[in-house]
Structure 1
Amino acid sequence: MRLDRRLFLAVMPFALLACSAIGQDESSCAGQLEARIVGVRAEVSVPRGEACSVGTYQVAVWFEDGTVRRFSRERDGQLAGLWLVDLAHDGVLDLLISTTSAGSGSYGAVALFQWIGNEFAERKLAPLDSTQRTGYAGHDFFEVVEGELYRSFPLYTDDDPNCCSVGELARFRYSLEHDRWVETATNLPADEDATADGQAGGARAGLSPPPGEVSHGNA
């Protein structure tokens, strides 16, 4: 589905997944995220009765011409973010969905679905390489800023407890052209970077809406 660049808007989710607290019954983890751009609305949801820690998510995308596309995927963890974005900068719609694993590590993952041949097709994103994983112990934060996908996480030393890194934040941008994560900034004090809140508040808006539009998020 081709996008009008003049009206392009990336909107972050306004609803966060309702999940049971650790140690409580997590037999039901129903919830949904929603994203909109002009002429397109997307929802991702967890079916009722599924556990927060593992299961599936269901995706539905509605276009203004009446086209509807639905699909589902396996899920490891909770829903964390949903974006409609032209990640390839080719005028074609892309869909991004991020998740956060259960447990103290809060390991993040992001899935990319590209509009190809009148359907959404998943494109696998490369993992962090061995050098980029130095000091990595989860607590990922994904965001979309000016049409680019970014990933941030705190860097841990051997002496840091899992809950509380006292180190810096690593930040990477995903390059579709080179199919890898590219380092954008390091040596950022954790208390000065917006990603220090991790996924606790969910993904946040990276682009400002045009006049008259409203962006829903947990900024």
Structure 2
Amino acid sequence: MNLKYYFLLSTACIVLASCSNGDKNPATASSPVAAKAALMQPFRFHKAIEVSPGQTYDVVSWGRGSLAVGSFAILHSDSAGMKYTTTTGNLDGTITDVYNADMDTDGNPEILIQSKGKDTVNYAKVYAFEFNDNDANKLDFPKLTNSQRKGYRGEDNFYIREGKLVREFPIYESNDSAAKPTGARRQLEYSLRSNSFSVKQLSKDSIAHSSNKAVVATAPKQEKKVTSSTKRRKQSEPKRKKRRHRR
């Protein structure tokens, strides 16, 4: 297994080095606005995250023949300790972004890989790892519950805010492929404690036409009040007429 990791690490380093030196024009290579070099096959994605001086995590994905599946690797370079480790896994979909955080504030960084797959919807999946020195601990990222999935059709947006992972996505009338968007968005916030995720919804879903429904619902109550008061007046009037008639 170690031989496989070393081979993978060597291959990835060669590919990344060739991409960074692929532009032979010195002026273009040194320009701060130079176009990003395309990755060589079978590699599809690369992002380097430096969590501290000498601690860098290169996240790459690769695979031939299909964009729907593949594999990913997290290449950890501890240049201060001259240690290099590799963490790999199977990939569902394609990587869209990678995030770094310390959500449980224990001093150990978490690397969160976001991928986008597709069945009936463009769904999102997150691969999460916490690193303690050179040891990687895989974290189980929670799936959406039935209530959280109501009206979900993908198009997720993730970002780190105040040490928490925030996820938001538009809400549709249903999960059907022909459903139309309601104009509302749902926000979920993920926290981490003792290597376990917890999730809560930040606010209630706001739908534009919900206020109109509330107005319609209150209208019949007002009409009932007017009708009942009118009936009471009519019932009291005949009594007064009968008293005058007796006189």
- 3-state SS of paired residue (1:136): coil
> Does 2:51 align with 1:33?
no
- Match for 1:136 among 147, 152, 163? 152
Amino acid at match of 1:184: L
User: Counterpart in 2 of 1:173?
Assistant: 189
> Does 2:70 align with 1:55?
yes
Mapped to 1, the partners of 2:83 and 2:63 lie a distance apart of 26
User: Counterpart in 1 of 2:60?
Assistant: 45
Amino acid at match of 1:63: D
Range that drifts further, 142-151 or 73-82: 142-151
1:158-211 Cα offsets, whole Å, 9 max, x none, are 398568624211011112237332111344689xxxxxxxxxxxxxxxxxxxxx
- 5 Å-filtered alignment, 1:57-72, equals 57-65=72-80, 66-72=82-88
- 3-state SS of paired residue (1:179): strand
- 5 Å-filtered alignment, 1:118-197, equals 118-158=134-174, 165-177=181-193, 179-187=197-205
User: Counterpart in 2 of 1:23?
Assistant: none
Mapped to 1, the partners of 2:49 and 2:155 lie a distance apart of 23
- Do the aligned residues in 1 keep the contact of 2:172 with 2:179 (CA within 8 Å)? no
Amino acid at match of 1:31: F
What runs of 5+ residues in structure 1 fail to find an aligned partner?
1-14, 19-26, 191-219
- Do the aligned residues in 2 keep the contact of 1:104 with 1:163 (CA within 8 Å)? no
- 5 Å-filtered alignment, 1:77-116, equals 77-102=93-118, 105-116=121-132
Which structure shows the bigger proportion of residues in helix conformation? 2
Mapped to 2, the partners of 1:90 and 1:161 lie a distance apart of 42
User: 1:140–1:126: structure 2 CA closer, same or farther, 3 Å change rule?
Assistant: same
- Do the aligned residues in 1 keep the contact of 2:128 with 2:138 (CA within 8 Å)? yes
Mapped to 2, the partners of 1:92 and 1:136 lie a distance apart of 33
1:49-84 Cα offsets, whole Å, 9 max, x none, are 352211111211212422222121111111011122
- Do the aligned residues in 1 keep the contact of 2:168 with 2:187 (CA within 8 Å)? yes
Mapped to 2, the partners of 1:59 and 1:80 lie a distance apart of 15
Q: Which has the higher contact order (CA 8 A, sep 6+)?
A: 1
User: 1:93–1:181: structure 2 CA closer, same or farther, 3 Å change rule?
Assistant: same
What runs of 5+ residues in structure 2 fail to find an aligned partner?
1-35, 209-247
User: 1:122–1:164: structure 2 CA closer, same or farther, 3 Å change rule?
Assistant: same
- Do the aligned residues in 2 keep the contact of 1:33 with 1:43 (CA within 8 Å)? yes
TM-score w.r.t. structure 2 length?
0.58
* RMSD of aligned alpha carbons: 3.1
Mapped to 1, the partners of 2:95 and 2:62 lie a distance apart of 12
Paired residues in the alignment total 168
Shift of 1:96: 1.0
Query: Which protein has the larger Cα radius of gyration, Structure 1 or Structure 2?
Result: 2
Identity %: 21
Shift of 1:100: 0.6
TM-score w.r.t. structure 1 length?
0.65
- 3-state SS of paired residue (2:149): coil
